[in-house]
Structure 1
């Protein structure tokens, strides 16, 4: 049977099969009785369709609001007010991006009944629960909130199954499903993620605990190569917000773009950037944007996620030393690659060869943006079991390390 997997049966095999099954030897045979049966099926189906259409028309008249919702979902349109109540986060308190995402999900769920999903047994850690959404379970279930109309799916510890189920829901065409687990476990669902991207499905994969910043769970749970591996999947938007308000903007982009996305979120609390000091999130949709106003930079510092705040602190110290560093938050390199060349040159001028990238994972993929003179602050080995601050210091994700890398890149670029 191995040969039949890779090649079609030859003429001899086909002839032998027909003899075994008592089929006529001619090349194409369509029995008259089959044609008669198909004609009857067509007639019966036409009657059933007519009857169903009449019932559906009655339902539309009796349920105008639900009918309008079905029509909107069928057209893949959003309601006009879908983003009206998205949260805003003050800069006086640190917030983990997973917590911010949970708040956004609940704000969106109130406006978008088509948005629903769950987690691979990590709902409290991923912040994927829709408050009051009910569990998608038979009414006979003893679980609290069980309902066949529930919006919370309990996938169990089955990452690949979760991804495949989300794909199936999205293929139906009316829903915007999401599912969460830890980033390190994205390996277990990679096949489903790849198929979602291949089919251009509007599935949102939520991957929290996105770096060594998750802390004491140690190297088995700390993603190192995962961000780069996910960026290697064509058609997948890999999104890693820098703070809570970037999460809001990124979720807005995910809903608006209606395509396959992976949202990478921190376990640890992160500073909420003071947007009166730094630029707003208006340009998040460009994938990369400048946070500080530096007209003629000496160096570019490009970072994503939790490392952005480190870059900003380093830039302030560099400024005191007479070096102008433009800090660029890059939540989604896929979106950035889609930008017009004029914007790319404005943000990252070719004339500025001194560049540093900062991301708590392997550096693979970053050299496209930092060039030969650039320095990548990355993690090329497994992590360890310790608190986030200890690990970031031990592995060189500090403002002192960024300043050192900037000066190294400046020296390389001047040769």
Structure 2
């Protein structure tokens, strides 16, 4: 080759490099201005990070990440904006790369113009299912960081389960943009500690180290050596001192260094200037954090006009000026306008999207080849993959497994539970009022039922055994042994999700394990589960004492907003915890959770209801559905389920008599467990007395959940005894013209027991069903809600006129002693109900009403339920 030819080739290379540099610079200017226009139009938002991190965004979407704008490609790289307030940056990049193009969820320019407006798909903070391409809901700082740890866990697990030589089905990276605020949050530190322990090498965090907060410099509250801290946690630390550079190669080099090792997650400490490029009065100052920039038009003239670009004196800006002139000639403007994307910039990012779409198609072909290759040798594995990829995460027999388990348990209960009669069954010819009586089977007095947490553990094990998609863990402590006490780990079935090097000699310790040892990290556990769920193909669950879920309520809230069907198992509910005292007795957690929209809170009263609660979650995973869409349709009804279980015995002291199983009752939210009559209504062949319609309507309805339903049933037994005794006294003492209030074939008091395991599901039933359970429009029925796992004034008046609730925190002592001290035993509850009944009989509301005539007349003070007939 001649010297002249070499010189010519070198000149072309330099020119090409100059063109690339100019395009990268114009891309960065475009990103900044689009974000600025969004915030300016909304008069709300944050621009410091979009300006400061625009070079990183250009490198990630323009060079580094593998993504598909058109397919929910399971092996795509994930990007998590942990600094969710910088959402304008993410929306700009999703628009530039063409996410959702051609569909109803496209991130269009019009959507950018609707930034932070009511009902738009570009809300103030990123929301999963709201905007195409958003992986998780972020905003509360630190949540996204922990979510990303969950995504990395999911990738590692699915790779261990499905990958084969030559078939790297799951080998993507998870990228995070986090700031100082994220790293100050405890949830990030918990998650970072676990990520280092688990050696999640495909997790790469960019730490935007700009030294500024909204209040001023970070030195006001933050002086840690972040690099040293993360190194101590087992992270690979990479320094990137020139994060303001427009050259994407410096970011590529940092990522390559992160990928070069396979033993640690990586944090890239990226020194940036907040508000970079916004001018000397804004750059590097706290006022750059939030709000629109007052000098926006100056910035636009600087970046989007040839004159402004040439004033900088930079060679690259001169090249950019030529590109801008070309755009101006094309559209006939002197300065490129608001919400404008130069054609070369759009073409660059859309081309990256096209490349990602091609990679997604190639991956789909690899999956097809994988299934054909291994279908004969590993049919179960292939079937599992195919089912999960089509949205069906549970086996065909999952419900049959529950059937078999429940059948065995109910056989034991049927053999040991007695019968509580509302009145004696009598023949028509009998005239003497029989005394109240109850029937018990032999041996029933010594029979003990299992604890609620044990039932939950056994049902979970039943599902884990044949459903490899179920993965989770407990936030435990070796001192307190919370995990073992919760009973949600089955080592022989699940193994341990751990790198083998962390557990030498421990059987079944690998990334293929399905039990995550979260350690004492409740908040991180719950936020990590959100990331696992977002990744797809896994049914995540998390468990700890009910009271400790309070540590992670923000993460549960994010799951509810995101419609993530995660299963939470809270054990040790209420004052039944006993000796551990009020610090561990979650009397207020139940109303806290019930107040959260889109969260199903189930407090089962027996084993049948416990099985039903698992089915409520399982139904969300049991059917085929299309998960190939980048964003699931917004109307998709999915939601997390919280199961609250007891430390002590759970179940009814007597057999239910209303004909509906708890398994089905849970799905309706509430149902009648024990009604106020025993005689079949439509069975003449039985030879029993037919009660009139009025006898089917109770005088008193007792409503409860969890253990308190059994408590109500025991209180009913006492009330029936008292009323029967009182009835007999009335027979002996009444000698006047006033008729006796009841006939001989029914008790003095008619009491219905309702189990209400899930308020949310009950509220979704039609009014006819609600009324058939509560009888709200029978104004002379006294309804009382009994619940020792709740505090007063927390919404029970929706269902009842009166309540017997916890008015305070609990106390320390043996469970039975605590319940008696706090007046939550059957005799105390019966006394309160009896007092309410007698008291109501002594009130009249209408002038000229007759006075008290005992049980036959009293005036209800109950208001109609909203929507009642």
TM-score by length of 2: 0.45
Contact 1:307 1:397 in 2 (8 A): no
CA displacement at 1:329 relative to structure 2: 0.9
Equivalent residue for 1:306? Answer: 707
Deviation at 1:61, TM superposition (A): 0.4
Give the unaligned 5+ runs of structure 2.
1-213, 215-285, 322-334, 414-446, 477-481, 621-637, 677-695, 724-747, 842-857, 860-869
| Structure 1 equivalent of residue 396 of structure 2 | 80
Could you say which residue in structure 1 is the equivalent of 2:749?
A: 323
Query: What is the CA–CA distance in structure 1 between the aligned matches of 2:360 and 2:600, rounded to whole Å?
Result: 40
Cross-structure match for 2:500:
139
1:30 alignment partner in structure 2: 342
Q: Which segments of 5 or more consecutive residues in structure 1 lack a partner in the other structure?
A: none
Equivalent position SS for 2:619 = helix
Q: May I ask how many residue pairs the two structures share in their alignment?
A: 411
- Correspondence for 2:643: 263
Q: Using a 3 Å threshold, how does the CA distance of structure 1 residues 17 and 243 change in structure 2: closer, same or farther?
A: farther
Distance between the aligned counterparts of 1:342 and 1:148, measured in 2? 51
State the alpha-carbon separation in 1 of the partners of residues 697 and 753 from structure 2: 12
Given candidates 590, 594, 611, the residue that maps to 1:231 is: 594
Partner of residue 290 from structure 1, selected from 672, 680, 684: 672
Q: Is the 8 A contact 2:604 2:705 kept in 1?
A: yes
Counterpart-to-counterpart distance in 2, 1:76 and 1:39: 29
Separation in 2, partners of 1:177, 1:39: 35
- CA distance in structure 1 between the aligned counterparts of 2:658 and 2:501, rounded to whole angstroms: 53
- The answer to whether the 8 Å contact 1:237/1:335 transfers is yes
Matched, 1:356 2:784: yes
- The Cα shift of 1:44 comes to 5.0
Residue 163 of structure 1 corresponds to which residue in structure 2? Answer: 526
CA 238–57 in structure 1, closer or farther in 2 if over 3 Å, else same: same
Which secondary structure state, in structure 1, belongs to the residue aligned with residue 568 of structure 2?
strand
Preserved contact between residue 210 and residue 222 of structure 1 (Cα < 8 Å): yes
Q: Could you tell me which residue of structure 1 aligns to residue 475 of structure 2?
A: 120
Point out the structure with max Rg over C-alpha. Answer: 2
Alpha-carbon separation, structure 2, partners of 1:81 and 1:369: 37
- 1:56 Cα offset (Å): 2.1
Give 1:283 deviation, angstroms: 2.1
Assess, with a 3 A threshold, how the Cα gap between structure 1 residues 296 and 43 changes in structure 2: closer, same or farther.
Answer: closer
CA 1:292–1:59 in structure 2 vs 1: closer, same or farther (change >3 Å)?
same
Which residue of structure 2 lines up, in the alignment, with residue 104 of structure 1? Answer: 459
Alignment of 1:396-407 (within 5 A): 396-407=823-834
From 272, 279, 291, the counterpart of 1:7: 291
Q: Cα deviation per residue 1:66-118 (whole Å; 9 max; x = unaligned)? A: 33322322333343311212223223432111011000001011232111210
Contact kept, 8 Å, 2:652 with 2:709, in 1: the verdict is no
- Secondary structure (helix, strand or coil) at the match of 2:513 reads coil
Name 1:365's counterpart in structure 2.
795
Residue 215 of structure 1 aligns to a residue whose secondary structure is: helix
Deviation at 1:135, TM superposition (A): 0.7
Q: SS state of the match for residue 140, structure 1?
A: helix
Give the Cα separation in 2 of the matches to 1:302 and 1:412: 18
CA distance in 2, matches of 1:310, 1:100: 19
CA contact (8 A) 2:604 2:757 kept: yes
Q: Quick one: which of 49, 56, 62 aligns to 2:367?
A: 56
Question: Counterpart of 1:341?
Answer: 767
Higher mean C-alpha deviation, range 271-280 or range 166-175: 271-280
CA distance in 2, matches of 1:333, 1:29: 50
Q: Which residue of 2 aligns with 1:378?
A: 805
Q: Higher mean Cα deviation, 73-82 or 261-270?
A: 73-82
Greater CA drift, 395-404 or 234-243:
395-404
The range that moved more, 19-28 or 133-142, is: 19-28
1:190 matches 2:553: yes
Cα distance, 1:207 vs structure 2: 1.0
Deviation string, structure 1 residues 105-141 (Cα, Å, up to 9, x no partner): 0101123211121000121121111342111111222
**What SS does structure 2 have at the residue aligned with 1:171?**
helix
Match of 1:174 in 2: 537
Instruction: Note if contact 1:134-1:151 (Cα within 8 Å) is conserved in structure 2.
Output: yes
> Helix, strand or coil: the match of 2:401?
coil
- Contact 2:656-2:674 at 8 Å conserved across structures: no
The answer on whether the counterparts of 1:357 and 1:377 sit within 8 Å (CA) in structure 2 is yes
Normalised to the residue count of structure 1, the TM-score between the two structures is 0.91
Which of 392, 399, 408 does residue 819 from structure 2 map onto? 392
Cα pair distance change 1:276/1:217, threshold 3 Å: closer
CA distance in 1 between counterparts of 2:639 and 2:654 reads 30
Determine which structure has greater relative contact order: mean sequence separation of CA pairs < 8 Å that are 6+ residues apart, divided by chain length. 1
